[in-house]
Amino acid sequence: MGDAGPFTTDDLVGLPVPVRRYLAAAIAPGTPLITAARLRMRGHIKVGRWLPFRAREVLAPHRGFVWAGRVAGLIAGSDRYDEGAGGMEWKLGGVITLARAEGPDLSRSAAERAGAEAVWVPTALLPRFGVTWSAQDDAQITARYDTDGHPIELRLGIDADGHVRSFVFDRWGDPDRTGTWGRHPCGGDVTGYACFDGVTVPAAGRLGWFFGTDRWRDGEFFRYRITELRILDRRGRK
């Protein structure tokens, strides 16, 4: 999916009012409708305990992502979903492997993560890219689409201005590390917004497993702030 022209009000025709409010707040008129972006972020990640991280990411929500980071200045590695396969590899000091995984369960989970991160590339959530929208009420909207054949149902909580307050989706995973994979709510709260390259996105927040349940406090594992976001052309360049 590449450049499909600029965003206009024609892209909102026929959508429920709360959905139109969200998309109009997230995408400035004239923004190129490109479905990929390059991001930089920083924050804290829970790896037994909370540790600082910095990361960069190339994200195409309908196709995949590569998230490469450094944690506590000593641990470096990446998570990814690309060409139908997901994987992760993290090393201490570039030598000692701390985590390495791949396989069908991880691939499914990684694909669904890529899809849900469309909140950071809202142009990818327009109907012209295969997204079907519904509104449960004035503050709850749902987008349905797929990432490389994996179905995504992304549920957004929005405020009166159309900004995202929270988002959640059912993600394939094994958050309790029992060896049994299944679907669990994954998402979080938004604590800040920023505008980059014509899109206004949830630029700060808290994410984790079991969002919206009484296990959310234990499931939270990621606190982030996006410091840079640039949309990419069809050749993967700014």
What is the CATH number for 175?
2.50.20
Task: Using alpha carbons only, give the angle 23, 26, 28 rounded to the nearest 5 degrees.
Answer: 95
- 93 lies in a domain? yes
Record the tokens describing residue 63, joined without a space.
């196709």
Contact between 169 and 116 (Cβ < 8 Å): yes
Backbone angles phi, psi at 177, to 5 degrees: 55, 50
- 2 lies in a domain? no
Q: What is the pLDDT of residues 94-152, one digit of tens each?
A: 889 999 999 999 999 999 999 999 999 999 999 999 999 999 999 999 999 999 999 99
- Which residues, in sequence order, are CB contacts of 209 under 8 Å at separation 6+? 171, 173, 175, 184, 185, 186, 215, 219, 221
Residue type, 18: P
- 4 lies in a domain? no
- 120 lies in a domain? yes
Task: Output the pLDDT for position 45.
Answer: 97
Task: Output the pLDDT for position 94.
Answer: 87
Beta strands in the chain (DSSP E): 37-47, 49-60, 64-71, 75-82, 85-92, 96-102, 132-137, 140-147, 150-158, 164-173, 182-196, 199-209, 220-231
The domain total for the chain is 1
Task: Output the pLDDT for position 173.
Answer: 97
Residue type, 170: D
Contact between 88 and 77 (Cβ < 8 Å): yes
Task: Output the pLDDT for position 236.
Answer: 46
Q: What is the pLDDT of residues 150-204, one digit of tens each?
A: 999 999 999 999 999 999 999 999 999 999 999 999 999 999 999 999 999 999 9
Q: How far apart are CA 52 and CA 69, in angstroms?
A: 10
- 238 lies in a domain? no
Q: State the average pLDDT over residues 19-35.
A: 96
Largest CA distance in the chain: 54
Task: Output the pLDDT for position 4.
Answer: 65
- Number of Cα atoms under 13 Å in the Cβ half of residue 171: 28
- 188 lies in a domain? yes
Task: Output the pLDDT for position 233.
Answer: 61
Name the pLDDT band for 232 (thresholds 50, 70, 90): confident
Record the tokens describing residue 205, joined without a space.
């927040």
Percent of the chain with pLDDT over 70: 96
- 1 lies in a domain? no
Range of the domain at 72: 9-231
Q: How far apart are CA 92 and CA 106, in angstroms?
A: 22
Q: What is the average pLDDT value for the chain, to the nearest integer?
A: 94
- Number of Cα atoms under 13 Å in the Cβ half of residue 55: 29
Task: Output the pLDDT for position 5.
Answer: 79
